[in-house]
Structure 1
Amino acid sequence: MRAFADLLDALIYTRSRNAKLRLIGDYLVGTPDPDRGWAMAALTGSLDLPAVKPALIRALIEERVDPVLFALSRDFVGDSAETVALLWPEPEGEKVVAAALTLSEVVQVLGTISKSDAPAALASMLDRLEADERFALLKLATGGLRVGVSARLAKTALAQAFGLDVDAVEEVWHGLMPPYAPLFDWAEGRGTQPTPENVPVFRPFMLAHPLEETQVSLDDYAAEWKWDGIRVQLVHVAGETRLYSRAGDDITHSFPEVARAFATPGVLDGELLVKGTAQGGEGGAGSFNALQQRLGRKLVSAKTLEEYPAFVRLYDILFDRAEDLRALPWSERRRRLEAYAAGLDAGRFDVSAVIEAASFEALEEIRAGARDAAIEGVMLKRRDSPYVGGRRAGLWYKWKRDPLNADCVLMYAQRGNGKRSSFYSDFTFGAWTDAGELLPVGKAYFGFTDEELKWLDHHVRNHTVNRFGPVREIDKSLVLEVAFDSIHESKRHKSGLAMRFPRISRIRIDKPAREADTIAGLRKLVT
């Protein structure tokens, strides 16, 4: 654990991307198997230790430290793992000198132990470690490292450290299991390169750059709608079907009806949506709010399948049977996609239509008029672009629709986490009912500058009228201009409304709270 703890500590205090790559690369080169493989699993979010939950850790520390002291310390530090690591007491009696814990030992124990035995096992490990090692252990156990390292960056560090092509690593990553022995055998010349043949592996998605002030020629670029669902990759190989999310997570079990309907060998890229209701979106697509009823479910009931039937709007084709099409230009892949899709179940799959526009200006008008529940904006794809993983300049652009805006009243605030743990940075805001009652319509924790955050924090502290645990109730005097992508009906919120991607765009100290927007006015924006 010592080397892994040192790595996490160094990554936390390193802002430079290149420095992070070197730190991870040096660790991987200097650490033996299988520890380095488990470290890569942790850095890429591929490690699951289900026996340890935050509630278990909280119970352990509250048995050893006054709960009020822990709560106050957690509020000040802003991170539960760091707080527990610092407060954990030395074991009573003579300290037993034990062999140093290895990362592999930790994973082996916590990965196989029962939930009933987990508290004693975890406490025993924490007793053997120093504070920074305890922090690393707890982060590892709960799966949230938060050290500023994405899965792609970790894989890039591995590739650079061993002279591999990062796209080749990505190609086989999801077909391998931690601690990735075949990958390191290949990296160090002891084995052959793993291949994805006959395994339904995930391939990296092609991503888009935001279209900012640039205009492009529609002679060179094709336009499609950017649908507001979740990006998925469908893979059918050797009789097996998998659905992968943008992060490469296997979500097949959450959408069994889609998986069953995809039985033609190949790999497709598309947007997972649910069918619209009577108020549904263009082309039969419902809002993201409707899709949320299906997300994250391990078991899907027959009622849910009936009420929120899923389908995929197809964007691209990577493989047609065993033929790799990624090097072909978009225009040719589009032709192949349409031919391939013609043989699929039309109730579960359709092809995202190309938007016909005579000029960029005409496209701009079409985009401005799109307020469909399931449309997030427009995609612009270079007609001669190959399908390449990641973002490549000049190939694909995303042109999101302009956000909606509302003036809302600040109601509640809560401290943030990590570097924001000393600031009130999570803000709940509301709108007025016809009866003059203020009801929450959203929560935002970004959109403001560092200086605005300091101003808001000062306002919260000076205008608190009540406290509910970590939450402060604020007098109803400050108006915030809130930008959001869309707003939907919601049975889970007292106001009956839920905003999609709300963020604070302006502090309206010039506007009286009574002149803020109403629930009735926001309801007119529901899509």
Structure 2
Amino acid sequence: MEAFAELLDRLSHVGARNVKVRLIADYMRRTPDPDRGVALAALAGELSLKTVKPALVRELAGARTDPELFRLSYDYVGDLAETVALLWPAPETPANAAPGLAETVERLEAAARKDAPALVAELLDRLDANGRWALLKLITGGLRVGVSARLARTALAELGAPGIDEIEEVWHALAPPYGPLFDWIEGRAPKPDLSEAVVFRPLMLSHALDDAERPRLDPADFRAEWKWDGIRVQLALHGGERRLFSRTGDDISAAFPDLLESLEGEGVLDGELLVMREGALGRFNDLQQRLNRKTVTKKLLADFPAGVRLYDILFDGAEDLRGLGFDDRRTRLEAWARARPHPRLDLSPLVPFRDLDELESRRMDPPHPAIEGVMLKRADSPYRAGRPKGLWYKWKRDPMTVDCVLLYAQRGHGKRSSLHSDFTFGVWRGGEAGPELVPVGKAYFGFTDAELAELDRFVRNHTVDRYGPVRAVEAKLVLEIAFDGIHRSKRHKSGVAMRFPRIARIRWDKPAAEADRLETLEALIGE
């Protein structure tokens, strides 16, 4: 456990990607199985210790420390794991040696809920402050050390001959602690066989098309299609099994039985998950009713029927098509769909264009509100995992903007734990007693480090009330908020919800009274 704690500590203090890759690779080289496999799963977000919740950790800390000291410390630090790790008192008698990482995870996974408090307390007693911090980060499910799943797998490629693309290919077919994966990478065993596995195949991603890139593109080399505002998914069909995967490889099949129950054929297909009502597309807000659910009711199935608009085909039966160019794969995709018509599957249409000026005019005035831009794909591009340069581009519509008033702020996590970096903002609407501010969104990015320091200073100097970790501030600072879409929402007091809001500009110059009104946002909703 000490080695894993040291790795997390070092990762949290470096920002350079290559340095993080080297630190993880060095840890994997010197750490034996199964500890390194468990560490890899934790870094990649593949561990879920459901027995222990943050509330349990707070209860343990309250029992072992002065409650008022804990409250004040937690309010100041803003990070539960760091607060408890530093305040936890050392046992009066020396505890046993620190446990190994795999042993720790195995015991936590096997523990019954009633036994979890005693187990966590025992483990905390056996660790130093750094080890306690790592343990609590692990069990509360948020390492926040700047490592993505892709970066963790990139570090694996440093251990042997297979490259990152090959590792991505087998990753989702294996489970922690990844013994066969390490054996293959380090040359002790052949590549795991996926021929009979219904597994996720890494998606090909795009780059944003910027102004500098546009003049270098020859329109004759590219095909265009609409960029639909849904959820990118992959359908995998083999041997009677049907699975639906998210863009990160999570199996979300259980939430969409209406889509999978009558699919025929075999293959792996790439597309966009949308709500489809007899051929008509719903908005992203409709799709949100179906997301993140382990089970779905009959009413949800009836009100928000799911479908997939197909973009591409990776496998036709057992035949791997990823080496073919886009045009050839499109022909195969059309033939596959034509031979297996299904009410919940259709093809994303190609968008004809003569030049980029014509395509830009279509991009800015799409035929459906569920379209957020266009995609440009080289006609000869193979399907390559990751984000290869020069092959696929996304050209989204320019974001909408609105001027809002800062209402609430909350401290962030990790490196931001001492700064207020989560901001809730609102707009004006008419009320019985006159104009009032109503919250319309929350943003935690879009600003520079220098701007974050200014925002944090404003929050501290203009706090008017506190609600636990949340501060209410004087309604006097205007923020220009950019967002990609807006829809009606019964879950929000304002009746609207933004898509991907972020802070575009701090309007120090603008009085709060001149911020936008709710009617302005409502007028942007495409019905």
- The one-character-per-residue Cα deviations of 1:48-94 (angstroms, maximum 9, x if unpaired) are 211111111111111111233223222322321121111111123x2
Q: 2:327 aligns with which of 328, 331, 335?
A: 331
| C-alpha spacing 1:78/1:467, structure 2 compared with 1 (3 Å) | closer
In 2, the alpha carbon distance for the partners of 1:434 and 1:475 equals 19
Q: Structure 1 residue 18 and structure 2 residue 14: aligned?
A: no
- The one-character-per-residue Cα deviations of 1:414-450 (angstroms, maximum 9, x if unpaired) are 2222222222222211111133121111111211222
User: 4+ runs of 1 displaced by more than 6 Å?
Assistant: none
Range with greater deviation from structure 2 (312-321 or 246-255): 246-255
| C-alpha spacing 1:105/1:486, structure 2 compared with 1 (3 Å) | same
Q: Secondary structure at the match of 2:354?
A: coil
In 2, the alpha carbon distance for the partners of 1:111 and 1:526 equals 46
Q: 2:362 aligns with which of 359, 366, 369?
A: 366
Q: TM-score, normalised by structure 1?
A: 0.95
Q: Structure 1 residue 433 and structure 2 residue 429: aligned?
A: yes
In 1, the alpha carbon distance for the partners of 2:414 and 2:9 equals 14
Range with greater deviation from structure 2 (170-179 or 466-475): 466-475
Q: Secondary structure at the match of 1:393?
A: coil
Partner of 1:156: 154
- The one-character-per-residue Cα deviations of 1:25-63 (angstroms, maximum 9, x if unpaired) are 121121111111111111111112111111111111111
1:192-271 equivalent positions in 2, closer than 5 A: 192-213=190-211, 214-215=213-214, 216-271=217-272
- The one-character-per-residue Cα deviations of 1:343-395 (angstroms, maximum 9, x if unpaired) are 33432111111111222101100111127432121110000000000011100
What is the CA RMSD across the aligned residues, in angstroms? 1.6
Q: Secondary structure at the match of 2:261?
A: helix
Partner of 1:476: 475
Q: List alignment gaps of at least 5 residues for structure 1.
A: 278-282
Q: 2:339 aligns with which of 333, 339, 343?
A: 343
Instruction: Give the superposition deviation at 1:301.
Output: 0.8
Instruction: Give the superposition deviation at 1:483.
Output: 0.9
Q: Structure 1 residue 5 and structure 2 residue 1: aligned?
A: no
Is the 1:481–1:508 contact (alpha carbons within 8 Å) kept by the matching residues of 2? Answer: yes
- The one-character-per-residue Cα deviations of 1:480-509 (angstroms, maximum 9, x if unpaired) are 211111111111111111111111112223
In 2, the alpha carbon distance for the partners of 1:15 and 1:58 equals 30
Partner of 2:104: 106
Partner of 1:280: none
1:98-137 equivalent positions in 2, closer than 5 A: 98-137=96-135
In 2, the alpha carbon distance for the partners of 1:66 and 1:231 equals 48
In 2, the alpha carbon distance for the partners of 1:263 and 1:90 equals 61
Q: Secondary structure at the match of 1:447?
A: coil
Is the 1:316–1:334 contact (alpha carbons within 8 Å) kept by the matching residues of 2? Answer: yes
Partner of 1:392: 388
Q: Structure 1 residue 48 and structure 2 residue 51: aligned?
A: no
In 2, the alpha carbon distance for the partners of 1:172 and 1:186 equals 10
Is the 2:407–2:425 contact (alpha carbons within 8 Å) kept by the matching residues of 1? Answer: yes
1:182-201 equivalent positions in 2, closer than 5 A: 182-201=180-199
Q: Secondary structure at the match of 1:117?
A: helix
1:8-87 equivalent positions in 2, closer than 5 A: 8-87=8-87
In 2, the alpha carbon distance for the partners of 1:463 and 1:412 equals 11
Range with greater deviation from structure 2 (322-331 or 122-131): 122-131
Partner of 2:399: 403
In 1, the alpha carbon distance for the partners of 2:474 and 2:120 equals 44
**Corresponding pairs, count:** 520
Partner of 1:490: 489
In 2, the alpha carbon distance for the partners of 1:307 and 1:260 equals 17
Question: What code does the residue aligned with 1:58 have?
Answer: R
Instruction: Give the superposition deviation at 1:339.
Output: 0.8
Q: Secondary structure at the match of 1:342?
A: helix
Is the 2:463–2:472 contact (alpha carbons within 8 Å) kept by the matching residues of 1? Answer: yes
In 1, the alpha carbon distance for the partners of 2:2 and 2:514 equals 58
Q: Structure 1 residue 143 and structure 2 residue 141: aligned?
A: yes
Instruction: Give the superposition deviation at 1:223.
Output: 0.7
- The one-character-per-residue Cα deviations of 1:384-415 (angstroms, maximum 9, x if unpaired) are 00000001110000111101111112222222
- The one-character-per-residue Cα deviations of 1:162-201 (angstroms, maximum 9, x if unpaired) are 2222222111111111111111222333322102111111
In 2, the alpha carbon distance for the partners of 1:263 and 1:125 equals 50
Q: 2:311 aligns with which of 284, 290, 315?
A: 315
